[in-house]
Amino acid sequence: MKHIKYILRRFIIILPLMFFTLNAQDEATEEVATPEVPAEEVVDAEAPVEETVEVEDVAVAEPVEEESTGSGFTVGVAPSIGLVSGETFTNVPVGATVVITTPYGFKLGPLDFTISAAVGGYAGSFDEEDFNPSVMGVGGNLVLANFVFAEGHAGIVGSGTGIRGFAGVSLEYLMKKALNLPVNILIGGEGFISTDMAGVGNSSGWGGLGVRLDYDL
C-alpha cells in the first residue's frame, strides 16, 4: 500500500512536467514549420508584378515626293504650209521651224510669258530660181489658260531683220492631262516678215497654216 501511494505521488509530480515539455516542443515545431513573414512582403507577394518593357524607337518610312526628272525645256517642230506670199516669191515657201522653249519666264496678269528661240529653213523660188530664206530669232510665248497662245520671235528672216509670229490654240490639256503624254500640239496661223528678204532691199513676207509638235526634254 505504501508503495502504491509512493508511485502515485511520483506520477502526480511527473505528469505536469510531461505536459509542459510536450507543449514547449509543439511551439518550437510551429515556429520552424511556419516562419513569420512581414506584412509588407505578404502584400507585395499577392500584388501583381508590373513588368516594364522597353520599346525601341521604330523608324517609320515617310513618303518621299518624287522629283520631276524633266529639264523644263521643250523642243518643238513646226512645219508650215504656205498660203500667201509677197512679190519676192513666185510660189509660197514651204519648210519648218524648230522652237526651243525654256523654263524661264514670268506672269503678265492672266498670261504666262515664256522665253524661247526659233531656227528654221524654207524653200521658195522667184522667177523659176530657187530662193531659200532662213529664220533665226529670240522671243517668247504668251499663253492664256493653257489653251490660247501667241508666239513671236525677232531676229533674221531671209537677208534682213524680221519677225516670226505664230498664234492659235494649244492642245496641252488634252495631250498631257487627259492622255498623259509628254507631247503637246499647237495649231494656228504662222507668218514671216522681213525688211530685206532677198538681200536687195526688198521687204516681203509670207504666211500659212502651222502645226507644231512640242516634246518635253
Would you say residue 35 lies in a domain?
no
Would you say residue 186 lies in a domain?
yes
Band (14; pLDDT cuts 50, 70, 90): low
CA distance 163 to 76: 18
Residue 22: pLDDT above 60? no
Would you say residue 27 lies in a domain?
no
| Stretch (H or E) spanning 2 | helix 2-33
Would you say residue 88 lies in a domain?
yes
pLDDT tens, residue by residue, 43-84? 444 545 555 545 555 444 444 444 456 788 999 999 988 889
Q: What CATH number does residue 166 fall under?
A: 2.40.160
User: Could you give the number of structural domains in the chain?
Assistant: 1
Based on the number of CB atoms within 10 Å of its own CB, is 45 exposed (0-12), middle (13-18) or buried (19 or more)? exposed
Percent of the chain residues past pLDDT 70, beyond the cut: 68
pLDDT tens, residue by residue, 111-149? 899 999 999 999 888 777 788 899 999 999 999 988 999
Residue given cell 498670261 in the structure block: 111
Question: Could you tell me how far CA 175 lies from the centroid of its own chain?
Answer: 20
pLDDT at position 42 is 44
CA proximity to 114, closest of 125, 101, 97, 95? 101
Query: Is 199 in a helix, a strand, or coil?
Result: coil
Would you say residue 64 lies in a domain?
no
Would you say residue 179 lies in a domain?
yes
Q: Which domain holds residue 178?
A: 74-216
Average pLDDT, the chain: 78
Would you say residue 175 lies in a domain?
yes
Would you say residue 41 lies in a domain?
no
Q: Record the pTM.
A: 0.64
